[in-house]
A and B are shown apart, each in its own frame.
Chain A
Amino acid sequence: GNSVTQMEGPVTLSEEAFLTINCTYTATGYPSLFWYVQYPGEGLQLLLKATKADDKGSNKGFEATYRKETTSFHLEKGSVQVSDSAVYFCALSDRGTASKLTFGTGTRLQVTL
């Protein structure tokens, strides 16, 4: 079956540091890949997505590239801010849709001044 593995948190960084959160997946076919973010007290929000190999999703300075050869979708940001502190979830859908998502466990990011 489908599965998503994320690096365990928490990840603690100083403001303006470079961020990488690793995500690898197992799926049949060609899944769509997503990063969701959950800010404190809020719901899951779609951060970015990629629907085919070599696509790069980007939003709010975050990027992730769909790497089929390594079955990965690592999240990166060049310079994090305190406001980026949240829990980040990697997810996939094997329907090419945003429904019936398979999620990772989430990685908590804490950014300090």
Chain B
Amino acid sequence: EPEVTQTPSHQVTQMGQEVILRCVPISNHLYFYWYRQILGQKVEFLVSFYNNEISEKSEIFDDQFSVERPDGSNFTLKIRSTKLEDSAMYFCASSRLGNTEAFFGQGTRLTVV
């Protein structure tokens, strides 16, 4: 069964460093998303991406964040200069269309020290 794959499963980085979280969405899906969950808090929407551009973003998704689909299979989330408060579980998701079920990856746990 097709699935969304995220790598790495756990990343530890020093404050101020850049990190790139990687996702391989389901191959025939057209819409891509990033969500995050800070420990003990709610899963929060960050950004949606369609047709090689951001279609919607939340207020959390500031200039420190960027997304990219560098080739036909990967979808990445970059955090330019990590802060302690960026420590969270980051979930990638994809959907075939904008109004169909979103399939989620297993998440990348980011720890900023």
Indicate if the CB atoms of A95 and B48 lie closer than 8 Å.
Answer: no
> Is the interface on chain B under 10, 10 to 19, 20 to 34, or 35 or more residues?
20 to 34
A43 in complex: contacting residue of B48, B98, B106, CB < 8 Å:
B106
* Contact in complex: A105, B40 (CB < 8 Å): yes
Question: In the complex, what residue of chain B is closest to A6 when comparing beta carbons?
Answer: B42
**Residue among A89, A97, A99, A103 having the largest count of chain B Cβ atoms under 10 Å:** A99
Instruction: Name B101's contact: one of A98, A104, A105 (CB within 8 Å).
Output: A98
Q: Does A102 contact B (CB under 8 A)?
A: yes
With A89-B43, A91-B43, A99-B48 known, 10 other A-B pairs at CB within 8 A are A4-B42, A36-B104, A42-B106, A43-B4, A43-B104, A43-B105, A43-B106, A96-B99, A98-B101, A103-B37
Which residues of B are interface residues toward A (Cβ below 8 A)? Answer: 3-4, 6, 31, 33, 35, 37, 40-45, 48, 56, 91, 93, 95, 98-107
